[in-house]
Amino acid sequence: MIILVDTSVWTVVFRRRFEQLGPEQRVYAAFLRQLIDLDLAGMIGPIRQEILSGIRDEASFDKLRTKLEVFDDIPIYRRDYEKAAWGLNHCQRAGISGGDIDLLFCAVAIRLNAPILTLDRDFLKFRDLIGVILYEPH
C-alpha cells in the first residue's frame, strides 16, 4: 500500500527544524519518516513543485531538490485531470473552495485507492464530498 503525502507534511519534514514543530506536526513528521524507510511515501509532480516553490536561496533549493530526487513521481493521467475538475466543480456547488493541485492530488488518490497523509484541514471537506481516504497516524 502506498500513502500519498501532501505538501503540508513534506514541508514539515524537509523545510523546518524538528524543534520548531508542534506536537501534531511531530507525530506526522515521525510517521512520514517511517513511510520513507518502508518506501511507502507517494508523491506526484505538482506536490514536488509546491514543496520546492518559494525557496529564496538557490543553495537551499538545490539541497532540497536533491533530497526529493529519491522519490519517483506517480504518473498522472487524463482521467485524473478530469476527475479533479469534477471534484472541484462538485466542491464549488457545495460551497467549498479547493485548489487545483489539491483536487488533482485527491483524484490520483481515488484512482489508486490510496490514503492521503495531510495536515491540511481542507481535506476533511474533500473526504466528505468526494470520498478520499485520509490517513491518521497513531
Query: pLDDT tens digits for 12-56?
Result: 988 677 778 888 999 999 999 999 999 999 999 999 999 999 999
| In the chain, % of residues over pLDDT 90 | 87
**Contact assessment for residue 110 and residue 83, using Cβ atoms and an 8 Å cutoff:** yes
Total domains in the chain come to 2
- Domain span including residue 82: 78-130
The pLDDT-based confidence of 138 (bands split at 50, 70, 90) is: confident
For residue 23, is it within any domain?
yes
pLDDT of residue 59: 96
Q: What is the pTM of this model?
A: 0.93
Which class for 57: exposed (0-12), middle (13-18), buried (19 or more C-beta within 10 A)?
A: exposed
C-alpha cell at 77: 493521467
Is residue 123 in some structural domain? yes
Mean pLDDT of the chain: 94
**Judgement on whether residues 15 and 51 belong to the same structural domain of the protein:** yes
Q: Are residues 61 and 92 in the same domain?
A: no
Residues 62 and 94 reside in one and the same domain? no
Residue indicated by cell numbers 527544524: 17
Q: Are residues 64 and 83 in the same domain?
A: no
Judge if 45 and 16 occupy the same domain: yes
Does residue 46 fall inside a structural domain?
A: yes
